[in-house]
Every structure is written in structure tokens, then in C-alpha cells.
Amino acid sequence: MFKKKEQRKPVFRFKHFDNKPYSLFNSLFKEVTIGMLSVSTLTFASAGMIPAQAQLPTADREQMMEGIEVMGSRVPLTQAETARLVTVLDRRTIENAPVQSVNDLLKYAAGVDVRQRGEMGVQTDISIRGGTFDQITILLNGVNISNPHTGHLAADFPVALEDIERIEILEGPAARVFGTSAFSGAINIVTTAEAQKFVQANAKGGAYGLGGGGLRLNLSEGRWKNQMSGSYLRTDGATLNSDFDVWRGYYQGGLSARDVNVRWQFGYSQQKFGANTFYSAKYNNQYEETGRYLASVQADAKAGGLHIMPSVYWNRSLDHFQLVRHTESGENFHRTDVYGANLNAYFSTVAGKTSFGVEVRNEGIFSTSLGRPLQEEMYVEVPWHGGRYYKMNDSRTNVSYYAEHNVLLPKATFSVGVMANKNTAYDDKFHFYPGVDISWRPAYEWKFFVSWNMALRMPTFTDLYYKSPTQEGNVGLKPEETSAFNVGAKWRRIGIDASASVFYHRGTNMIDWVMYSADDVFHSANFKLDNVGTELNASLLFSEWFGRRSFVDRLSVGYAYIHQKRHDDVVIYKSNYALEYLRHKVVATLDHRIWRNLSAAWAFRWQDRVGSYIKYASPSDVGTLVSYEPYALLDLRLQWRDPKYTVYVEGSNLTNRTYYDLGNIPQAGFWVKAGASFRLDF
């Protein structure tokens, strides 16, 4: 017997990825997965996503990023192909930033307006490009977790900063990609998904009774992924009636097979906090408790040349509010449930990539004050508050159909799509919201893009029904609609990343809460409102020039400007949200090394808000209208980083500046915080 000599198969090595039509992978007209690359679910993956310890030459790293498929539309496109500009806050940025919450981190995105009531993410309103907090879609790993009760509760995230891999911010309407609530933009939080087994613990403390900690555990092995975390944070509060307790729990899992990948996640958060003058400046002893539960299952399957991505999800939020703490004065309870199912599919041909899909989303609320009256036999008992019942209810179902086609040329991309939407609370008819995105790449460093998109937003249940001694909803509100134009450019080369954009949003039936006179209450109302503005961003990436020898790692600067115009002559004494926008915003961050593993991260923010708030001397006082003053803040984090542990000390508002983000609510002055985390791989 002679043993047959084994012949080795030829090995092909590729030095870089290319996007030319004659390139090998493009010529296959199929999706090709290379290794295990974690990709963005929106658009531009930042070069900062690459780990700092990567030893590849900078030019090679850029080539790799150009070849990664990202999602700026309903089909995956590479960074070189996409036409939408997205800000990516990567893991490195998150770890270095002198912040304690997702909400605080978003303050340093030039195009995002973060109006904070409580500290460290407790009750925060987040908006984009002069819109309101109700006009953005918030996603967790691509799953819509927006709250139809009110956008005030949308940013109650079940994940801590330690759980997050990156945050992606899409500015401008994206209804044909993410649905109706993506009216002025979308924010997607992507959690970490490591293969390495580990356990990680962290603890933190500081002034004003700040204390807390968290634990993360990864038990992934082979095809199975399992990662869970829990955290707790509390403080006595740095200002009057601003104490809080926050609990968070999160689990994500997955199963990878040859042609099918399945992912699931479960989240929980609970917040109890003194609400100062959060909803009425006349009462400074308000109190609120909120809870959130979420679950979703997503799949990614291939059937021949068809790529299928179904998902199902459920979100529940609970809210308990007291106008006067520890009393039944102005007390109300709410429970909101959202059920959704989404199916997206796409295929590739020589003509480009084509996608189609459908989403069904049901939104319902039980409440003591929001909705239509229930018959007594249909009352629902409020959990954990025996003897109290939800006596009001409302619900609506939203059905959306999507279609999109992308034409891919060597130096240009043309993407056109439409969403057909029907809502049972509107007129139960289909309305169409199209969009077009075009990008042109005349050279490797340059990309020019232009887009036009339309979007719709239904009023929240609070907009429709809320009524209190100081506020009155309007069941006759019409849905908001917008037609938005955007044009811009991006320039990227070794050590430099810069972008500029100009936008114009033409709004119809925009919703705001307004007072028409000094002795009036706030009314929810519709009016026409246009936003026009510009945004500039630039980063100097010194580490790409000088590597580890560089004293300065990164210097980033951003500026945003917005101007609004109303198309009516109605006299408005005071706006609560839509007309109180940031006219100017400047942000700057600097990361640099001090000695060995010790580094510093500086964060500066200056902003000038249009609008005013009512200052009361007493609850019975009529109040005085006071304009918002511009303010500047400086934060600093000193950090010692080792592969197994990290220790930091942080100072926020170093100049002890008194400032107001919203209403009559003073924000915290100088605050010292410190913490440490330890990780064990096994």
C-alpha cells in the first residue's frame, strides 16, 4: 500500500481591500464575510474603532475600514459606498470621556442637544438638529426602544457605559430605514460582544453621597454567546431634591450556525429620583419612579441569494409621578407596552442591491390620566400600589412597508427608497415618505454627499391627553411631517478626519407645548417650523502620525449652528421645547498621555440657547421670564489603564459654573468622582 501524497491547496493572500467593480469580491455579486468584523448598524465606522494596540500600519487600517460593510440604508454597504454621515462614538472615546452615563457622553456630539434635568442620565431630553426629544428614534443593537408615552423616558437605558461598544448618531430623517419615529435623527447603542470569557467588576464614589458599582460576566463559548451585567448607582444629589437610585440589568445571547445567526437580549432598569421642578417650575418637591423592561430576538439567515433578517421585540415602561413628594397631590401612574415585528430582506444583482420589508408595531398605554376612560369592570390594578387602578387606556397600530434600491458605481452611490405607512390613530390610510441619498467620491480622501428625505411622527400619548394644573394636552393634534435636505463633504487621510454639512428641515404640524400669555397654562399645539443649520467637525489623530510615541492622542473640535423660522403670526409667550433650541454649540476634546499608563482626557463645551424660562419666587407667584444665558463647561478625567484594571478620578464642571439646561432647574457645580474596574479573563 502506498499512501497518496497529500497536495497542499494554494493559499491566496490579499494585501488590501478594494471597491473597484473588477475586484474579486465584487465580481461574485455575493456578500463575503472576512474574519469576524464587528460592523456599525448605521453608517461611517470611525477609524477610532480600531483598537489602540493594533500594530497594523495606518494606511492598512484605513484600507480595512473602507472594506467593512456598514448599514446606512436598508442594505449593508461599505463605508466607501454609503451616502449618509454618521457620528460614531467608539469604545476608546467612551472609556476616556469624563462622563458617567450615555446621556452625558452625547453632550459632546456637536449636532446633539442634551437637556438634562437630573444628574448622570436621570431624566434627560435628547434631540438632534433643532428637533425635540420626541422626534428621534433610539435603538439598542438595532431594536427600536423609543417610548410612545413621552420622549422624557426614552433615555432610560438598561445598559451601563461598561456594556457599550460604540454609539452611532444619524442626523436627519431616516423614516425609510428606521420607521416613523426617526423624524430628525436616530441614535443606536451597540453593546460589546466578545468571544473571550471574563468577569469584570467596577466600583465608584464621590461627593454628595455618590456610590455604586457593577458586575459583568461573559460565558461565551464556540457558537454560543452569553453576556450579562448588573449595576447600581445612587447619590444624595448636588442640588435641591435631586437624589436618585438607579438599578440596571442586561443580558445578551446568540447562536451562530452556518446559514443562520440568532441574537437575543433582555434589559431592565429602575430609577427613583427627586424631580425638583422637572415638570412645573411652581413646585420644587416633585418625585418620580420609572421602570423599563425590554426583550427582543433577531435573526440573520441566507436562503440562496436572498438575505432575510426578521426580528420581534417587546418594551414595557412604568411611570409613577408625584407633584408633591410623598403625597397624592398631582399623582399619576402609567404603563406603556410596545409590541413589534420586523422583516427585512435584500438581494444583490449586477444592477445593485435591492431590499424590501415590513414592520408592524402596536403601542398601548394604561394610565390614571392618559387615554380614554375605561368602563369600571375593565380597570387594571397598578402593580405594587394596592387600591390604585389604571382607569384610562389608548392604543394604536402602525404598519410600514419598505422598499429600497442602491446603484453602486466605482465612484458614486445612488440610493432611493420609500416607506408606505398606515396608523390606526391617524386616518387609517397609507401615506408615502420617500428619500434619496447620493454620494460621489472623486478621490480616495474625499466624499461628497447630498440627500432628501421625508418623515412622519405621531403625537405621544402625553401630547394628546396630559392634563394638570399647569399643562393641557390636545386630542386634536395632527401628526408632524418634515421634508429635509442635506448636503456635505467628508475628508479623511492619515491623521486627519474632517466633515462639514448644511441642512434644511421644512416642518409641517410641528408639536410644541406653549403658553400664549403670562397667566396661561401650557398647551400642546401644531404649527409650521423650519430649521436651517450647519455642522463642522475636525479631528487630529496624532497617534496615526507618531504611534505610541505621541504625547497627544487625539484633538477633536466641533461646531453646530441652527436658525429657526415660524410660519404664523400667533404670539407665543413661552415655548417649552421646540422653540428653545441651541443657536450655537462648540465642543472640544483632548486626549493625551502623561506618564506611562497615566493619561488625561479634557472635554470642553460652550452653548448658547434661544428661549427663556419662568422664575418663580413662590408657588403663588406669577413668575418672571428669564432668558437662557450662554455657558461654558470644562471636565477632566485622569486615568491609569492596565490590561487587567483601570483607576480614574474625574472632575466635572471644574469652574463651578451655575447653569440651566431646561426650565428652572439648576445643574450641579463642581463634582469630584472616582472609580476603579478590574477584569479577569479565563
CB-based contact 301:260 (threshold 8 Å): yes
Which 3 state secondary structure label does DSSP give 595? strand
List the strands of the sheet with 136-140, edge to edge. 86-89, 164-171, 185-191, 136-140, 143-144
| DSSP state letter for 53 | T
CB-based contact 145:315 (threshold 8 Å): yes
Name the amino acid, one letter, at 114. V
Residue 32's Cα: distance from chain center in Å? Answer: 29
Task: Provide the pLDDT for residue 71.
Answer: 55
Q: Which residue has the cell 420609572?
A: 290
Task: Provide the pLDDT for residue 48.
Answer: 36
| Residue 512, pLDDT above cutoff 90 | yes
Q: Which residue has the cell 465608584?
A: 204
The separation between the first and the last C-alpha atoms of the chain, rounded to the nearest angstrom, is 47
| Residue 597, pLDDT above cutoff 80 | yes
CB-based contact 341:359 (threshold 8 Å): yes
- Band (pLDDT 50/70/90 cuts) for residue 619 is low
| Residue 535, pLDDT above cutoff 90 | yes
Nearest of 562, 636, 582 to residue 604 by alpha carbon: 636
- Band (pLDDT 50/70/90 cuts) for residue 78 is low
CA 63/CA 158 separation, integer angstroms: 35
CA 574/CA 415 separation, integer angstroms: 41
Average confidence (pLDDT) over 306-326:
95
CB-based contact 489:478 (threshold 8 Å): no
Weakest-pLDDT range from 125-134, 201-210, 329-338, 380-389: 380-389
Phi first, then psi, for residue 14 (nearest 5°) are -110, 125
CA 267/CA 252 separation, integer angstroms: 9
Q: Which three cell numbers stand for residue 248?
A: 440596571
CB-based contact 148:336 (threshold 8 Å): yes
Q: Which residue has the cell 463645551?
A: 605
Weakest-pLDDT range from 270-274, 323-327, 392-396, 522-526: 323-327
- Band (pLDDT 50/70/90 cuts) for residue 165 is very high
- Band (pLDDT 50/70/90 cuts) for residue 67 is very low
| Residue 201, pLDDT above cutoff 90 | yes
CA 588/CA 539 separation, integer angstroms: 10
Residue 205's Cα: distance from chain center in Å? Answer: 26
| Residue 41, pLDDT above cutoff 70 | no
